[in-house]
């Protein structure tokens, strides 16, 4: 029998983050495969696979938290994509970022919005 | 004609934060009434009154952001209440806090969960 | 009658941030014009247009806060420029950044000083 | 010859923070006197004793930075006092805190304003 | 066969944090037992049970990180205790906190030192 | 007689950070030589020259704190190098970064690990 947390996590990662998620995992293989394993198992196998909150709401929470932290631009971009993939409309994602001006200040909200601009452009190209 | 942003904001503040919102506004009157005015006008009159994102999703985003910041416990408690008032179930709010362990670490998630514990106790008493 | 907060804010933005401010506003037009509108109305129309604190002191406060946040380099550069435009001497701006070593640690102070180095170079070229 | 950085720092600490500064230094004596010594020598002996920026501007920068950090309430209260002692009017200090709503969000600005409310009350009692 | 990550984690939690760790876990039971379970499994079962870094070094890293975050005082106190239990001398723990003045500023270092003062007092009483 | 804090600090800087440390100091000369002087005197002359904690432990604390802050990538890279130079094994440094996932979240831990990947590559080239 396999490691069900890992298998479940890998499946969730693929369905939520798609290509971008795989790239993060791959780029960890030569430096710290255990961090890749833990990233699959805990966030995706344990947390994102829980019932009790729909994926759209989960991604809204993550986008808000990463905008608040301010120093995690690559992860913010991954989750702006994930929010759109989960069924959030562009308008809904913009509202989350707009609202962050209230809680984390205008600079963090602006930086979040410019990250979204890049994400939307990249999605158009693909 | 009155200041419609202020009137709209006050109405939104009352319906979202209830008593707790009023208390914050009142406690500002003798120190800086303009901050009270701005808090009503911008966050509530301009942002929380926008269509494009339902109130439940807005409160999920706010709870996530305040948990990430970590140093805004009074505001986190106000918005844990607001999330419940907006129709989030206890389970949904707990899922948001649980998920924050992934993005902001376990201590911030634990502190958020203990704030929720207090909020639920206070709501039972009332 | 026009929106006086917007008009006032636009005038303040132009006089404080100059070209750099306009660029931020312009680059928001195709992604979220409402964030541009709010950025003009609240920070510039409501706050920077208030009497009670001179512009030099306002820019000193903003440079200090953005250095403390650490993750808002583009905005820090805009406000290092704005501080110099408001009449702060180079020496005064350097003192603010030096002083941040005490409150936010040496790395944040060093990163602020290197941002100022870039700003001074860019101003020489123009 | 004595340690001039220490002597100079102690004199600056006394004139800037007064009683509150001494209390911090005293309360370190039984746990880590070297941290007391360093706090006198570097922030006060090296930085606050520099020419090039007036004390009022220095305190405005410090109040802004500590409001942005959000997790240093005791130090924020010391420096709200220091700002008032350095000649900032109540109005000027309030403007700095109001302005922080733009850069660090409304919760941090509100918490700063409530800290000022306490400081003003404590000064009235004394 | 039991859940070995949980069992291993519980054993590590007990040996590292002792009574204080149990209290955190217990106080989660009525609000979110899954967060208790995850706190045991991931930090303690997965991370603190790894070879490759001795426990003293792990606690030094944790004390440094929690001092830098600044808003996790209860967890900082737990890990100041854990560092001492793991064999760090009082002097070594003080050096870590002193050194934080360089990276996270003097206020965070001072608050860390005052947390240690409380911890040492509480250990004397017991 | 020379300034012994400066001389001692310069010697410590050279032995800890090597080339990378000199570069930081050099790049400050044309913008703010006093910040260079203070960076040598306080962090290196006063703190890193203290007995009471071995250099390996000091670097572990610094790597943890800079990973937690999240917005100090250049300094994190300098100290990942310094940790390796001080005798930490690659495995030990990876364990510190892995452990940060618990306290500062997975994004900060991932960004720290990717910084280490760059550092190891750069060391191979040299």
Which pLDDT does position F18 carry in this prediction?
A: 85
Contacts 24+ apart (CB under 8 A), F109-112: F109/A35, F109/F67, F110/A24, F110/A28, F110/A35, F110/A39, F110/A75, F111/A71, F111/A72, F111/A74, F111/F67, F111/F70, F111/F73, F112/F63, F112/F67, F112/F76
CA distance B106 to chain C (A): 22
pLDDT for B64 beyond 50: yes
Which pLDDT does position B99 carry in this prediction?
A: 98
Neighbouring residues of B122: CB distance < 8 A, sequence distance ≥ 6:
none
CA distance D101 to chain A (A): 7
pLDDT for B1 beyond 70: no
Contact residues on chain B for C46, CB-CB shorter than 8 A: 38, 42
C76 falls in which pLDDT band (50, 70, 90)? Answer: very high
Q: Could you give the dihedral angle defined by the CA atoms of residues A21, A23, A28 and A29, in that order, rounded to the nearest 10 degrees?
A: 110
Which pLDDT does position E2 carry in this prediction?
A: 54
**E1 SS3 class:** coil
Test F105 with B107 for CB contact under 8 angstroms.
Answer: no
User: What is the tens place of the pLDDT at every residue in A70-116?
Assistant: 999 999 999 999 999 999 999 999 999 999 999 999 999 999 999 99
pLDDT for F96 beyond 90: yes
Test F102 with B105 for CB contact under 8 angstroms.
Answer: yes
Which pLDDT does position E28 carry in this prediction?
A: 97
User: What is the tens place of the pLDDT at every residue in D10-62?
Assistant: 999 999 988 888 899 999 999 999 999 999 999 999 999 999 999 999 999 99
Enumerate neighbours of A (3 or more CB pairs within 8 A): B, C, D, E, F
Tell whether A95 is within 8 A of chain E (Cβ).
Answer: no
- Put simply, the chain D residues between 99 and 118 with a CB less than 8 A from any chain A CB are 101-107
Sign of the alpha-carbon torsion through E47, E49, E54, E57: positive
Contact residues on chain D for C63, CB-CB shorter than 8 A: 61
Minimal Cα distance from A93: which residue of B?
B53
Which pLDDT does position A1 carry in this prediction?
A: 41
Rounded to whole angstroms, what are the CA distances from E46 to A35, A41, B103, D87, D93? Answer: 11, 11, 18, 55, 48
Give the residue range(s) of CATH 1.20.1290.10 domains in chain F.
Answer: 54-126
Contact residues on chain E for B94, CB-CB shorter than 8 A: 31-32, 35
Which pLDDT does position A20 carry in this prediction?
A: 86
Percent with pLDDT over 90 in chain C: 90
- Three-state secondary structure of chain F: CCCHHHHHHHHHHHHHHHHHHHHHHHHHCCCCHHHHHHHHHHHHHHHCCCCCCCHHHHHHHHHHHHHHHCCCHHHHHHHHHHHHHCCCCHHHHHHHHHHHHHHHCHHHHHHHHHHHHHHHHHHHHC
User: What is the tens place of the pLDDT at every residue in D70-124?
Assistant: 999 999 999 999 999 999 999 999 999 999 999 999 999 999 999 999 999 999 9
Distance CA F17, CA F13 (A): 6
pLDDT for B46 beyond 70: yes
pLDDT for E1 beyond 90: no
Tell whether F74 is within 8 A of chain C (Cβ).
Answer: yes
Secondary structure (DSSP) of B53-112: S-HHHHHHHHHHHHHHH-S-HHHHHHHHHHHHHTT--HHHHHHHHHHHHHHH-HHHHHHH
pTM as predicted? 0.97
Test A38 with E38 for CB contact under 8 angstroms.
Answer: no
Q: What is the helix (H) or strand (E) element at residue E109, kind and residue range?
A: helix E106-125
D2 falls in which pLDDT band (50, 70, 90)? Answer: low
Which pLDDT does position C126 carry in this prediction?
A: 77
Test A103 with D107 for CB contact under 8 angstroms.
Answer: yes
Contact residues on chain B for A56, CB-CB shorter than 8 A: 57
Sign of the alpha-carbon torsion through E9, E10, E16, E17: positive
pLDDT for F119 beyond 90: yes
Q: Which residues of E62-74 are buried (b: 16+ CB within 10 A; e: fewer)?
A: bbbbbbbbbbbbe
Test B31 with D70 for CB contact under 8 angstroms.
Answer: no
pLDDT for E29 beyond 80: yes
Test F72 with C71 for CB contact under 8 angstroms.
Answer: no
CA distance C71 to chain B (A): 13
F51 falls in which pLDDT band (50, 70, 90)? Answer: very high
Quick check: C16 and C82 in contact, CB under 8 A? yes
Output C10 or A3, whichever has higher pLDDT: C10
Minimal Cα distance from D41: which residue of F?
F42
Quick check: D58 and C23 in contact, CB under 8 A? no
pLDDT for B59 beyond 70: yes
Neighbouring residues of E11: CB distance < 8 A, sequence distance ≥ 6:
none
Minimal Cα distance from F75: which residue of E?
E103
CA distance D13 to chain E (A): 14
Test B66 with D94 for CB contact under 8 angstroms.
Answer: no
Test F38 with D42 for CB contact under 8 angstroms.
Answer: yes
D1 falls in which pLDDT band (50, 70, 90)? Answer: very low
Which pLDDT does position C18 carry in this prediction?
A: 85
Quick check: A45 and E46 in contact, CB under 8 A? no
Contact residues on chain C for D42, CB-CB shorter than 8 A: 102
Contact residues on chain E for C107, CB-CB shorter than 8 A: 103
Quick check: E108 and D70 in contact, CB under 8 A? no
Quick check: C32 and C42 in contact, CB under 8 A? no
CA distance F126 to chain E (A): 27
Enumerate neighbours of F (3 or more CB pairs within 8 A): A, B, C, D, E
Distance CA D65, CA D108 (A): 11
Helix residue ranges, H only, A3-105: 4-28, 33-39, 55-69, 73-85, 90-104
Contact residues on chain A for C28, CB-CB shorter than 8 A: 110, 113
Contact residues on chain C for E64, CB-CB shorter than 8 A: none
Test F69 with E103 for CB contact under 8 angstroms.
Answer: yes
Rounded to whole angstroms, what are the CA distances from C68 to B105, E6, F72? Answer: 21, 39, 12
Residue F67's closest CA among F23, F21, F99, F19? F99
Q: Which CATH number fits domain A54-126: 3.40.50.720, 3.40.1390.20, 1.20.1290.10, 3.30.1360.40?
A: 1.20.1290.10
B2 falls in which pLDDT band (50, 70, 90)? Answer: low
Here the ipTM equals 0.95
Which pLDDT does position A83 carry in this prediction?
A: 97
CA distance D69 to chain A (A): 12
Which pLDDT does position F1 carry in this prediction?
A: 42
Contact residues on chain F for C97, CB-CB shorter than 8 A: 32, 35
Neighbouring residues of A70: CB distance < 8 A, sequence distance ≥ 6:
A104, A108, A111, C69, C70, C71, C72, F70, F71
User: Can you tell me the mean pLDDT for E70-82?
Assistant: 96
Contact residues on chain E for B70, CB-CB shorter than 8 A: 69-72
Rounded to whole angstroms, what are the CA distances from E113 to A48, A70, D67, D68? Answer: 38, 28, 21, 21
Burial of D19 (0-12, 13-18, 19+ CB in 10 A): exposed
Mean pLDDT of all residues in chain C?
A: 95
Q: Which residues of A51-90 are buried (b: 16+ CB within 10 A; e: fewer)?
A: eebebbbbbbbbbbbbbbbbbbbebbbbbbbbbbbbebeb
Test C70 with F71 for CB contact under 8 angstroms.
Answer: yes
Which pLDDT does position C2 carry in this prediction?
A: 54
Distance CA A28, CA F110 (A): 9
Minimal Cα distance from A46: which residue of B?
B99
Q: Could you give the dihedral angle defined by the CA atoms of residues C105, C108, C109 and C114, in that order, rounded to the nearest 10 degrees?
A: 160
User: Can you tell me the mean pLDDT for B69-73?
Assistant: 96
Enumerate neighbours of C (3 or more CB pairs within 8 A): A, B, D, E, F
């Amino acid at each position: 029998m396999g490691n069900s947390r890992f298998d479940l996590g890998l499946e969730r990662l693929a369905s939520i983050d798609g290509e971008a998620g795989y790239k993060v995992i791959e780029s960890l293989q030569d430096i710290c495969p255990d961090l890749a394993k833990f990233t699959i198992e805990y966030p995706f196998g344990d947390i994102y696979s829980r019932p009790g909150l729909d994926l759209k709401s989960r991604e809204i929470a993550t986008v808000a938290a990463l905008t608040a932290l301010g120093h995690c631009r690559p992860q913010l971009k991954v989750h702006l994509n994930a929010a759109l993939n989960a069924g959030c409309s562009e308008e809904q994602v913009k509202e989350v970022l707009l609202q962050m001006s209230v809680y984390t200040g205008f600079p963090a909200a602006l930086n979040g919005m410019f990250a979204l601009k890049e994400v939307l452009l990249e999605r158009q190209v693909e």
